[in-house]
Amino acid sequence: MKATDKHKTTSKKEDANEDAGFNNIWKFGIFTAIIIAIIILIIVLIKLFLNQQLINKWEFPIENLTFGKCLGEGAFGVAVMATAIGLINKNVETKVAVKMLKDDHRNYEDILDFKSEIDFMKKMGNHNNITTILGSYEQDGSPCAIIEFASKGNILNFLNSMNPRASEKELLLYANQVAQGMEYMHDKNLIHRDLAGRNILVTEKHNKIIMKIADFGLARDIGKEGYYIEDRHALNPRWIAPESVNDNIFTFKSDVWTYGVLLWEIFTYGKAPDYIPLSHLSAGKRLDQPLDCSAVIYMIMLSCWDIIPEKRPTFQELVKRIEQILSSSREYLKLVW
C-alpha cells in the first residue's frame, strides 16, 4: 500500500472517530436535555398538585352556607353573618362571617386586591389575637372569605356598650392582646399599616374576652428590606406615622405609631383621635392624655409617637412593658409622673 493511501485511510478513520465522538456528545446532550426537561416537568406537576391540594384545603361549598344579617361594610366590601355546615366537623354548624366585595367593586383590580388579602391571611398562620380565615370560595368570579365570627363586634362598639365601663386594668389587658398579635406579625416580617379600633374585633371564649386583629387589605410582607413604599394610599393621617405621611414609607415602627393611636382610642373608650398637622407633630404636639388614663400608660403612648422611628419601642418591648404594669401593684398603675 502506498504511503498516500495509508495516510488517507488513517485520515478517514480519524474523521470517523471524530464524527463518532461528536455523535456521542450530541446524543449525550440530547439525553441530558430530556432528563432535565423530565425533572422540570415533574417539579411543575408536583407544584401544581400541591397548589391544588392547598386550594382544596381552603375551598368550601357555598351550598353549605346559610346567610344571615349584614355585620358591617367598608368602602369596597361587606361582611355577612352565616352558618357553615361541615366547616370544622362533619354535619356540625359553625357561626362564621363571610367577607365579600360589593357588587359595584367587582372589577379586575378590586378582585385581584381581595384575592391577595385572602392569600395573605392563608399564609399568615394562626394566632389567638389575629382573625383566622376558615375557608374561601368564588361566586360569579368574585372571591369570598370565610372568617371566624367575632360576637362582640369591633372594640369601639364593644367599649361604648360596656356598662359599667371597663377598668384601666381591663383596657390594658385588651391592649396587650393586640400588641401580642402585632408581635406575631412582625416576627413574620408582616406589617399591618391600618391598625385602628375599627379593625380590632372582639369575641368571647370560655368567658374570656379576646381581641382579634382584622382587615389585612393593606398589610404587606416587607421581607428583608424592612420597609414598604406606596406613593398612593388612602390611609387616614389621624392614625399613620409622620414618615408615612411625608415619605410614603411604612415599617415596623410606623405600625408602632398607629398602635399608640389605638391605645388612645382604647383609653378614651372609642373616641376618634383629633387630626394633628404634620408641622405640629414635628414641633412636639401629641394627642392629649385621656381622662381615665394613668401617666405611666400615657408614657407608653408617647414612646410610640417618638418623631424618630428608631426610638420607638418594638412590640416585643411593648408586651414586656405592659405585662410589667399588669403584674405590678394598683399604686403603680395610679402613679402620677
Which residues carry out catalysis?
A: 194
Cβ atoms of residues 74 and 113 within 8 Å: no
| CA 102 – CA 91 distance, rounded (Å) | 30
Intra-chain end-to-end CA distance of the chain, in Å: 116
Burial class (CB in 10 A: 0-12, 13-18, 19+), 62: middle
- Across 163-207, the runs of DSSP E, i.e. the strands, are 190-191, 200-205
DSSP codes, 33-46: HHHHHHHHHHHHHH
199 annotated binding-site participant: yes
| CA 259 – CA 78 distance, rounded (Å) | 25
- Across the chain, the runs of DSSP E, i.e. the strands, are 65-73, 77-85, 93-101, 133-139, 142-148, 190-191, 200-205, 208-213, 220-221, 228-229, 249-250
Q: What is the CA radius of gyration of the chain?
A: 30
99 annotated binding-site participant: yes
330 annotated binding-site participant: no
Alpha carbon distances (Å) from 189 to 182, 225, 306:
10, 10, 22
215 annotated binding-site participant: yes
Q: Which amino acid is at 317?
A: E
Pick from 168, 190, 156: nearest CA to 271 = 156
Residue list, annotated binding site for Mg(2+) = 199, 215
Residue list, annotated binding site = 99, 198-199, 215
Residue list, annotated binding site for ATP = 99, 198
